[in-house]
Amino acid sequence: MSESLPAAPNREPDLDDDFSAGLSAERWVASYLPQWTTPERARAHYTVVAEGIQLRIYADQLDWRIEDAPLRVSNLQTGVYSGPVGSTRGTHRHRADLVVRTPTPQRLLFAPSRGHVEITVSASRSVDCMVAAWLVGTEHRSPVESGEICIFEIDADAIGATTSARTGVKAHHDPNLTTDMAEVTLPFNASAPHTWTVVWGEGQTVIGCEGRIVRRIAQAPDYPLFLMIDLFETGPRGGNYPKTATVHRVRGWH
């Protein structure tokens, strides 16, 4: 990490949340892709703490979908979209077998087509956990507007004196994108607070951490994207509960 990230825009953010006032329903949907499952399975578990908002996985938390077990998740996202029950229309069709089980009214709370986003987070070191942040195509205009900017995916067992993270672009159903993911090494322990940044537009995506560029990719989605911040548990139940990750602050500019 040698090159400095571009500076944030010189104006007030369109989204700025340190969660000190609690979780705002005007900014966040506290549910993980609710259209593909049922409300209780999708519901985020969290606690507002002095440092921000602590996403939580509990020992008795339901799997997101029975078909995907073991997979438990607590997620915040900046909007939601789905088609009718039984359809395949909805945000983030990341599996071929997804159909709408719970139709959800369209909400575009923060869905820029290009912009600058900063996320300060402390990753989880709990067994079988991953913390991630993505910008995903809303798909409310077209199912091909489905590409993803993977800002970071950090597995608990990849955290130590240095941290490995996955980052890049995923095409999904967008024929104009090519999946380009890579693993990067960060020179710090990511369970302490650290700030990730993504800047995208005009055919380029720049992803960085702690003020330094980690990836520069010559492509970018050019349609509305929701921001998603997630804590996953992907293995069998075990270890100490609740399993947690803390989101300290999120800032975003259209």
Structure tokens belonging to residue 161: 């004196």
Residue 228 near residue 149, CB atoms below 8 Å: no
Cα–Cα distance, 25 to 1 (Å, whole number): 36
The domain ranges of the chain are: 15-253
Answer whether 0.85 is exceeded by the pTM: yes
CA-to-CA dists, residue 127 to 65, 80, 120, 241, angstroms = 21, 30, 22, 10
Cα–Cα distance, 232 to 123 (Å, whole number): 11
Residue 3 near residue 204, CB atoms below 8 Å: no
Nearest Cα neighbor of 229 from 22, 49, 17 is 17
Nearest Cα neighbor of 3 from 190, 214, 173 is 214
Amino acid at site 226: F
pLDDT of residue 156: 98
What do you get for the CA distance between the two ends of the chain, in Å? 26
Listed in order, strand segments (DSSP E) in the chain are 15-17, 46-49, 52-57, 72-77, 79-80, 107-108, 115-122, 129-137, 148-155, 163-170, 180-186, 194-201, 204-209, 212-217, 225-233, 243-253
Query: In degrees rounded to 5, what are phi and psi of residue 145?
Result: -85, 65
pLDDT of residue 76: 98
252 half-sphere exposure, CB direction, 13 A CA radius = 23
Beta bridge partners of 231: 74, 131
Cβ neighbors of 215 (< 8 A, separation 6 or more) are 167, 168, 182, 184, 205, 206, 207, 208
From first to last of its 254 residues, the chain has per-residue pLDDT tens of 469 999 999 999 999 999 999 999 999 999 999 999 999 999 999 999 999 999 999 999 999 999 999 999 999 999 999 999 999 999 999 999 999 999 999 999 999 999 999 999 999 999 999 999 999 999 999 999 999 999 999 999 999 999 999 999 999 999 999 999 999 999 999 999 999 999 999 999 999 999 999 999 999 999 999 999 999 999 999 999 999 999 999 999 99
Nearest Cα neighbor of 225 from 147, 122, 162 is 147
Cα–Cα distance, 208 to 239 (Å, whole number): 32
Topology of 15-253 in CATH? Answer: Jelly Rolls (2.60.120)
pLDDT of residue 193: 98
